[in-house]
Structure 1
Amino acid sequence: MGKFNWGTHIISEDVVTLAGYEKFEDLDSCQKYCTKIAKSNYENFIISNWFTPKEIKQHIQNIYAFCRYGDDLGDDAPFPPNERKLLLEEWMKDLERAFNSETHPWEGEPRHPILRAVSHTASTFNIPITPFKRLIEAFILDQEKTRYSNYQELKNYCIHSADPVGHLFLYIYGYDDEELQRISDYTCTALQLANHWQDVSRDLDQDRIYMPIEDMERFNYSLEDYNKKLVNDEWRALMRFQVERARELFEKGKELWEKVDSRLVVDLRMFTMGGMAVLDAIESQGYDTWSKRPRISKLKQLRMLMVSRKLWKEAHKKGKGIR
């Protein structure tokens, strides 16, 4: 994933100024900025893929820029965790400035160009502030909590860090049904878990352990072993368990494919394919995620792209548009 040069954040006494404040004011410039961010940052899962309907692609890129900026504030800003938390709290304040208005939601005056673009997207699709707030809350939680006692605690983290992204996609495609959101949570949580198990080494280098302590104890793998990045039979069994748990969630999430617009299904299937490919990569290297970070091969990425193209053509023939 390429790093985006955000500029300089300033923390001075009680004043926090985020990089990008007052950078652009007109909507067109703000949205072009979001597009630039989206094109410079790619992960295992293409957020705004080549086949996303044109009428929503810009909105997807606006959402992506919001997520990427907050994630980088929490992970890459050159400050200790307590000061990164201040940056994220300021990001939350600017979100609230965007949402709060004397007239209508999302007609406020944020200082950051990304939030100007997000305001346009949220207003267009009647998106509440909740999913955006939950994402920022997850970034803040990463500055405060570095260990998880059990799987339920980790799931609660995913409610904030991952599930809101699925809700945002549903809103953009015209769905505000809570039952559909519940089903999408399976896929989003699975994606988050796949990312965690792919990045155990990177996360530990930041003193973050997402592996539930309860699960480690179940497989007789100690915190001391974890901190040593020890690969043994216990670790492989533990990681195999986590991979299968994530796969089960991906399977449950497939129920959504039968309930939404065929064009959204293309995205959902691509997300699932990408996440499953990460899990396959973990398995293919014998569940040793310490020695080498699992990656999706270029060949597999190409195959996924070809599948996406085929799915999009099929969806396009059905003639369904955004609700």
Structure 2
Amino acid sequence: MSAGFQTATDARTGKGQHDENFPVASHLIHPRNRGAILAFYNYVRAGDDVADHTGLSPERKIELLDALADALTGKGGSDPSVEPLKRELAAHGLPPTHALELLDAFRMDARKNRYADWDELIHYCRYSAMPVGRFVLDVHREDPARVWKTSDAICAALQILNHLQDCGKDFRNLDRVYIPLDVMAKHGADPSMLARDKATPELLAVIRELAQRTLDLLEEGKPLPGLIDDLRLSLEIAAIHRLAVVLTRGLLTRDPLSEKVHHGKAGFALTALGGIAATLVRRPFRPRAATSGAGR
């Protein structure tokens, strides 16, 4: 079955930015930066679809991911998922570092389906999530020394939140368990419980402990909107952060195997607006960086 996949684009599932749990380059982002973020997303989506494809062997997944990297760096042939990002990187004067790091995460997914402890999971997030935030900040010319640390915390939290929300689906469809095995053992749970229609008390205890750790990461990242010079990006991140806090708190009381954790459109919008409003109220009192980009 995998022999028919010549490029990563052949493995695309059709999933796009509107199918994600959080906004991807919403209209809060200035038009001059949206193209770069969407091109980055589509490149990452191509790699993610390869890593999650059930019809590809691990070895073929690695080959396709390597080809994506080579197409981006100019070492190999072209791919339709790559050319827009190459153009945007050139236009913004940015290296391909963050995109290449995400491919490292997808290589991990091709080879690895269990995580021993929290540190292993955070290491995965370093490559699967943190480069996304760093890229968006770099596109906006924000100061890495000022913003990367809090961005990394938020991005790791978003990744782990998605893992918790999708824990049953990941196990059933991909035999992949991102929940640390030592936390499962601590509460008397095991991965086979993820196949059930309803979480056991032991598994709920695991999910709630990890949800609390995720809330701690979100608290660590809370200052980020106030550290960003670009107002529109600040509001985008504030909305995402507020949504993540609400959804993660939901996991303290809900069962992701049997209950819906995601917001409906109305609840999503109201929660996001709450984050935006809170940031706008605080905005006049934040000190601006010494060097901020023109037109911000």
TM-score of the two chains, using structure 2 as the length reference? 0.84
> Aligned equivalents of 2:33 and 2:155: distance in 1?
20
Per-residue deviation, residues 277-312 of structure 1 (Å, max 9, x unmatched):
3213333xx331122452212321131454477589
| Equivalent position of 1:19 in the other structure | 9
Amino acid at match of 1:43: E
| Equivalent position of 1:302 in the other structure | 269
| Equivalent position of 1:74 in the other structure | 51
Contact 1:281 1:296 in 2 (8 A): no
In the alignment, is residue 271 of structure 1 matched against residue 240 of structure 2?
A: yes
Which is worse superposed, 144-153 or 293-302? 293-302
What's the CA shift for 1:241? 0.9
| Equivalent position of 1:30 in the other structure | none
Unaligned residue ranges in structure 1 (runs of 5+): 1-8, 21-35, 101-108
Note closer, same or farther for the CA distance 1:61–1:287 as it changes in structure 2 (3 Å cut).
same
Give runs of aligned pairs for residues 233-312 of structure 1, distance below 5 A: 233-261=201-229, 262-283=231-252, 286-304=253-271, 306-307=273-274
Amino acid at match of 1:87: L
Contact 2:40 2:99 in 1 (8 A): no
Note closer, same or farther for the CA distance 1:312–1:52 as it changes in structure 2 (3 Å cut).
farther
Amino acid at match of 1:171: D
Note closer, same or farther for the CA distance 1:185–1:152 as it changes in structure 2 (3 Å cut).
same
> Aligned equivalents of 1:75 and 1:60: distance in 2?
22
Contact 1:240 1:287 in 2 (8 A): no
Unaligned residue ranges in structure 2 (runs of 5+): none
Per-residue deviation, residues 209-231 of structure 1 (Å, max 9, x unmatched):
00101111121213443455662
What's the CA shift for 1:165? 0.3
Contact 2:115 2:178 in 1 (8 A): yes
What's the CA shift for 1:320? 7.7
Note closer, same or farther for the CA distance 1:94–1:10 as it changes in structure 2 (3 Å cut).
farther
Contact 1:10 1:18 in 2 (8 A): no
Identical amino acids, percent of aligned pairs:
24
SS in 1 for 2:222: helix
Note closer, same or farther for the CA distance 1:168–1:149 as it changes in structure 2 (3 Å cut).
same
Give runs of aligned pairs for residues 1-323 of structure 1, distance below 5 A: 11=3, 16-19=6-9, 41-76=18-53, 78-97=55-74, 111-205=78-172, 206-226=174-194, 228=196, 231-261=199-229, 262-283=231-252, 286-304=253-271, 306-307=273-274
Amino acid at match of 1:172: V
Note closer, same or farther for the CA distance 1:82–1:191 as it changes in structure 2 (3 Å cut).
same
Amino acid at match of 1:266: L
Per-residue deviation, residues 169-208 of structure 1 (Å, max 9, x unmatched):
1111102524521221000000001000000011102100
Query: Alpha carbon RMSD of aligned pairs, Å?
Result: 3.1
Aligned length: 284
> Aligned equivalents of 2:275 and 2:16: distance in 1?
19
> Aligned equivalents of 1:170 and 1:178: distance in 2?
11
What's the CA shift for 1:146? 0.4
